[in-house]
A and B are shown apart, each in its own frame.
Chain A
Amino acid sequence: MNRDIFRSWMLLLGVPGLMMIGCEQQSSVQTVTVYVSEDQVFSEPVLRDFERDTGIRVKAVYDTEEAKSTGAMNRLIAEKANPQADVYWANEPIRAEVLKQQGIASPYQSPNAQNIPPAFRDAQGYWTGFSARARVLLVNRGVKEQPASILAYADPRWKGRSVIANPLFGTTTSEIAALFTLWGDQKAQAFMEALKKNRVAVSTSNGESADFVAAGRYDFSLVDSDDAVNRMRQGKPVDMVYPDQGEGQMGTFIVPNAVVLIKGAPHPNLAKQLIDYLLSRETERKLAFADCAQIPLHPGVEMPPELKPIQSIKTMPVDYAEIARKMLQVQPYLREWAGL
């Protein structure tokens, strides 16, 4: 009887406990912790290659679509007094810039960052950009004359025929904040009001906008280039247009990934190794050929034919630090605009 009861309790607590310990057992392998806002499906293979090439184990926290790619950044802010992460892989430089401004980033000038254009990295090394997305217009092929500027959103010709992702989240917020820095508050707010008047639909994400355009519910949408390439590779009847490329136009907004060394990181040396790896030409080549189809920032990196080299795109002349500051300022206005 006693033995039966002992066995039962062992089965109830001992076996699951051992399973748990087995899962948690730490070997002597060195470990680096990274918080990632880039989609897991694209970032994880790169991190696995890093593990394979260096023997350093990577522990990662990934953002979900629902956290609108800001969950990891906000977790870093919440952990400022109790840092758990060594590195932050942001899917855009604005979040990295916010970390710098909040005193959560630490400067590091990676030797692999030398060939990356200065516009896409912080001068003091608090963050460094790599593998970029462009903010493009995804246009349904059923449209006779394709829009060539984001000003098409305010053109009565497209009334009720366009869609944009919720400007409170993700790269759409960054682009709207960029317009505020470029045009000034008055002109940018007038543009936002014109969007409302022109009955521009608001979707939950760039992915949803792309799906709507691919399905023909709307004629065009401003999305990330990876969303556009993805739909094109799926054979959807859509075209990708780099907006505002003409003479006197403002150019296309570019959103590079950015990597940050966290202040007070538990493993700073391993963190630097990971940062060097992410900023390498090889990582940029991998991300260009992955389904995320990101544009390399190092000159001369091989890329698929759908992509334009960064040098041949007229890019929007912006200061990401200024955008980060502006983004916080325009949040209340955007909330009001979105009716929240």
Chain B
Amino acid sequence: MAKRLTLALAVLFFVITGALPVLSMLFRSIYIDGHFGLESYRGLMSSSHQWLLMRNSLALSSLVTLLTVAAGVPLGILLGKTDLPYRRLLTLLFVIPLLIPAYIIAVSWSGLLGHWETAGRWLFGLPGCVLVLFSVFLPVPMLLTMVFLRTINPELEQAGRLVSNWRGVLRGITLPLILPGIGLAALLVFVLSFGEFGVPNFLRFAVYPVESFTQFAAFYNFRAATAAALPLAAVTLILLWLEASWLRDKTWRVRPVAGAGRAPLIELGSHRLWLFVVVVCGALVFAVIPIVVLLFQSTGAYAEAFSRAGASLLRSLAYSAFGASLLVVLGFLIGYLVYTQPNRYGRAVDSLTFFLFALPGTVIGIGLISLWNTPWTNLVYATPLIILFGYLAKYTALTSRITVSQLAQISPSMEQAAEIAGAGWFRRMLFIVAPLAWRGLLAGWLVAYIFTLRDTGITMLVYPPGHETLPVRIFTLMANGTPQLIAALCVIMIVATLLPAGLLWSLLIRKNPGVGR
């Protein structure tokens, strides 16, 4: 009873924070002046501007997906399966752009290339967006390749080596076995680039999330904004269907095989040096140079940056830390439900979390305002609760998926034994399951913290007066703020992201030396 009630309440809470705002927004777009109608959607597909937006959005996401997978998979193999020197250090360097907000990388590249007219012109548009998002999302296929490589039984490759060289083994055994991981990486990169708001907005490239934001923020037209969001929702549903029908069962219970750490490394031989140089150059260009540029540009502007944004920084840290904790709790309950009830209900809840994750933050933000902007709900609308609700709506998928993969690694007999001994559900969760899953919970907290800290799509629309976060402040100061000030704020944002991430990561490694290898 306690279990059912708690899980049902968790789902209900998620529906109220996540699904209801989107439904409210949809309702307001078709219920006009006391009657139902589709006026808002008329002309949606007849306008050439809509087709341009769709073409731009698809071109950007497809190019970024194609390029990151093409480069990320070989990079993952090089860093996860060969004797390339300094593999861990290089892995860490490549991961840095993923941890910091993408628009900061865009600010940095514009600071670097903006001095040359041709390069600056090239940066502002599709090529610049592709460059920035490529460097930000490259670690996704790289890391997933490395993770899935650890799920391959080394004996399969060893057997292959008896009859073929490494190239043949990679082509015939390794790559086919990690194909679901590559598919998941491609899907994730596509979803993240399709919903990306900050980079195309900064680099002035017209895509749907920017259009939806502009329609709402510039005209406050719920109906037009909802209509502009409809194609986004349609593409999101297609991606959800792809994920559910092809990838979900193959990817959500990833478990490293025993002895994966002892799998033989590919010896690069004479190729070792030039491959090392290429990888180091990649790390320098995509991870080190953008940060160095910001450091140089920001010299002398830190006092002003702290004076202007100190309070926003503290707020960002507090909202993200608390939001991440709530996400861990909600994600744990929903993940538990999805894992223990692999039926229609469980799948529907899982699909809803993924749908909201894939939906651009601007759309969720508009939905939240549409639902909560009334004199009776100011407890939510006029307080930071609305920001937290936005975080829960968008990012629960992250913590619930991490919970599912963590629960898959815990033997069900542990919980069953406690149940036979008479322990109630709460006690089992609190004293058996949660402690056994603590690494997953901590990793989930870290991922949730990073995503909520960098959020702009939701926060920029819904923040109540006097509650703006650091990313919002960076965006509002971009209008006529000096490049030095913006660079200093970006550096502060990077430190605010990397410092807690580094501390928790080192805690994870210290408690479990297997992590990170």
B476 touches A74 (CB 8 A): no
B329 touches A13 (CB 8 A): yes
Q: Does chain B have a CB within 8 A of A208?
A: yes
Q: Does chain B have a CB within 8 A of A204?
A: yes
B218 touches A70 (CB 8 A): yes
Report if A74-B49 is in contact (Cβ < 8 Å); known contacts: A79-B373, A84-B382, A291-B480. Answer: no
Main secondary structure of the interface of B (DSSP, over half): helix
- Interface stretch, picked from B128-136, B159-167, B310-318, is B310-318
Q: Given the complex of chains A and B, what is the CA–CA distance between A2 and B435 in angstroms?
A: 11
A13 touches B325 (CB 8 A): yes
Q: List residues of chain B with CB within 8 A of the CB of A77.
A: 220
Q: Does chain A have a CB within 8 A of B190?
A: no
Q: Does chain A have a CB within 8 A of B319?
A: yes
Report if A5-B430 is in contact (Cβ < 8 Å); known contacts: A16-B321, A41-B481, A64-B479. Answer: yes
Question: Interface digits, A153-179 against B, CB 8 Å rule (1 contact, 0 not)?
Answer: 000000000000000010000000000
Q: Does chain B have a CB within 8 A of A305?
A: no
Choose among B383, B435, B478 the residue that contacts A65 (Cβ–Cβ < 8 A): B478
Please, which residue of chain B has its CB at the minimum distance from the CB of A331? B219
In the assembled complex, the CB of B216 is this many whole angstroms from the nearest CB of chain A, namely 8
Report if A64-B465 is in contact (Cβ < 8 Å); known contacts: A16-B318, A82-B374, A340-B49. Answer: no
Q: Does chain A have a CB within 8 A of B477?
A: yes
Choose among B47, B315, B384, B476 the residue that contacts A62 (Cβ–Cβ < 8 A): B476
- Interface stretch, picked from A18-26, A110-118, A194-202, A279-287, is A18-26
Q: Given the complex of chains A and B, what is the CA–CA distance between A19 and B384 in angstroms?
A: 13
A67 touches B373 (CB 8 A): no
B374 touches A207 (CB 8 A): no
Report if A44-B308 is in contact (Cβ < 8 Å); known contacts: A35-B465, A207-B480. Answer: yes
B214 touches A67 (CB 8 A): yes
Choose among A13, A23, A33, A60 the residue that contacts B315 (Cβ–Cβ < 8 A): A23
A78 touches B476 (CB 8 A): no
Please, which residue of chain A has its CB at the minimum distance from the CB of B320? A16
B318 touches A22 (CB 8 A): yes
Q: Given the complex of chains A and B, what is the CA–CA distance between A74 and B47 in angstroms?
A: 25
B438 touches A66 (CB 8 A): no
Q: Does chain A have a CB within 8 A of B33?
A: no
Choose among A60, A82, A217, A230 the residue that contacts B375 (Cβ–Cβ < 8 A): A82
Q: List residues of chain A with CB within 8 A of the CB of B473.
A: 40
Q: Does chain B have a CB within 8 A of A71?
A: yes
In the assembled complex, the CB of A248 is this many whole angstroms from the nearest CB of chain B, namely 36
Q: List residues of chain B with CB within 8 A of the CB of A12.
A: 325, 328-329, 441, 445
Report if A68-B317 is in contact (Cβ < 8 Å); known contacts: A81-B374, A340-B47. Answer: no
Interface residues on B, range: 35 or more
B431 touches A16 (CB 8 A): no
Q: Does chain A have a CB within 8 A of B46?
A: no
Q: Does chain B have a CB within 8 A of A39?
A: yes
B466 touches A59 (CB 8 A): yes
B381 touches A82 (CB 8 A): yes
A16 touches B324 (CB 8 A): yes
Q: List residues of chain A with CB within 8 A of the CB of B317.
A: 19
In the assembled complex, the CB of B382 is this many whole angstroms from the nearest CB of chain A, namely 6
Q: Does chain A have a CB within 8 A of B340?
A: no
B466 touches A60 (CB 8 A): yes
Between B48, B201, B204, B219, the greatest number of chain A beta carbons within 10 A of the residue's beta carbon is seen for B219
B480 touches A66 (CB 8 A): no
In the assembled complex, the CB of A145 is this many whole angstroms from the nearest CB of chain B, namely 25
Q: List residues of chain B with CB within 8 A of the CB of A59.
A: 465-467
Interface residues on A, range: 35 or more
Q: Does chain B have a CB within 8 A of A75?
A: yes
A40 touches B465 (CB 8 A): no
Q: List residues of chain A with CB within 8 A of the CB of B219.
A: 70, 74
In the assembled complex, the CB of B392 is this many whole angstroms from the nearest CB of chain A, namely 14
B465 touches A85 (CB 8 A): yes
Q: Does chain B have a CB within 8 A of A8?
A: yes
Q: Does chain B have a CB within 8 A of A307?
A: no
A24 touches B384 (CB 8 A): yes
B375 touches A81 (CB 8 A): yes
B117 touches A17 (CB 8 A): no
Choose among B384, B464, B468 the residue that contacts A84 (Cβ–Cβ < 8 A): B464
Q: Does chain A have a CB within 8 A of B152?
A: no
A20 touches B384 (CB 8 A): yes
Q: Does chain A have a CB within 8 A of B158?
A: no
Q: List residues of chain A with CB within 8 A of the CB of B322.
A: 13, 16-17, 19-20
Q: List residues of chain A with CB within 8 A of the CB of B182.
A: none
Q: List residues of chain A with CB within 8 A of the CB of B435.
A: 5
Docked complex: B317-355 residues within 8 A CB-CB of A: 317-319, 321-322, 324-326, 328-329
A204 touches B204 (CB 8 A): yes
Q: List residues of chain A with CB within 8 A of the CB of B468.
A: 61-62
In the assembled complex, the CB of A110 is this many whole angstroms from the nearest CB of chain B, namely 22
A41 touches B479 (CB 8 A): yes
In the assembled complex, the CB of B203 is this many whole angstroms from the nearest CB of chain A, namely 11
Choose among B49, B326, B378 the residue that contacts A82 (Cβ–Cβ < 8 A): B378
Docked complex: B449-478 residues within 8 A CB-CB of A: 460, 463-468, 473, 475-478
Q: List residues of chain A with CB within 8 A of the CB of B218.
A: 66-68, 70-71, 74, 169
Q: Does chain A have a CB within 8 A of B501?
A: no
Q: Given the complex of chains A and B, what is the CA–CA distance between A219 and B441 in angstroms?
A: 59
Question: Interface digits, A302-340 against B, CB 8 Å rule (1 contact, 0 not)?
Answer: 000000000000000000000000000000000000011
Q: List residues of chain B with CB within 8 A of the CB of A215.
A: 117
Choose among B210, B220, B319, B463 the residue that contacts A61 (Cβ–Cβ < 8 A): B463
Q: Does chain B have a CB within 8 A of A276?
A: no
Please, which residue of chain B has its CB at the minimum distance from the CB of A2? B431
In the assembled complex, the CB of A148 is this many whole angstroms from the nearest CB of chain B, namely 27
Q: List residues of chain B with CB within 8 A of the CB of A63.
A: 476, 479
Between A64, A75, A217, the greatest number of chain B beta carbons within 10 A of the residue's beta carbon is seen for A64
Q: Does chain B have a CB within 8 A of A183?
A: no
A78 touches B217 (CB 8 A): no
Question: Interface digits, A32-60 against B, CB 8 Å rule (1 contact, 0 not)?
Answer: 01110001111010000000000000111
Q: List, sorted by A's number, 17 A–B pairs whose CB atoms are closer than 8 Å.
A: A12-B445, A13-B329, A19-B318, A20-B318, A23-B319, A60-B466, A63-B479, A64-B478, A65-B475, A65-B478, A70-B219, A74-B217, A82-B381, A226-B480, A230-B480, A339-B48, A340-B47
6 shortest interchain CB distances as A-B pairs: A59-B466, A74-B220, A67-B217, A16-B321, A16-B322, A19-B318
17 further A-B pairs in the complex, CB-CB below 8 A; given A82-B381, A204-B204: A5-B434, A13-B325, A16-B324, A17-B322, A19-B317, A20-B318, A24-B384, A35-B465, A39-B479, A41-B477, A65-B478, A66-B218, A67-B218, A70-B219, A74-B220, A79-B373, A291-B480
Measured CB to CB, the residues of B under 8 A from A are: 47-49, 117, 201, 204, 210, 213-214, 217-220, 308, 314-315, 317-319, 321-322, 324-326, 328-329, 369, 373-375, 378, 381-384, 430-431, 434-435, 438, 441, 445, 460, 463-468, 473, 475-481, 485
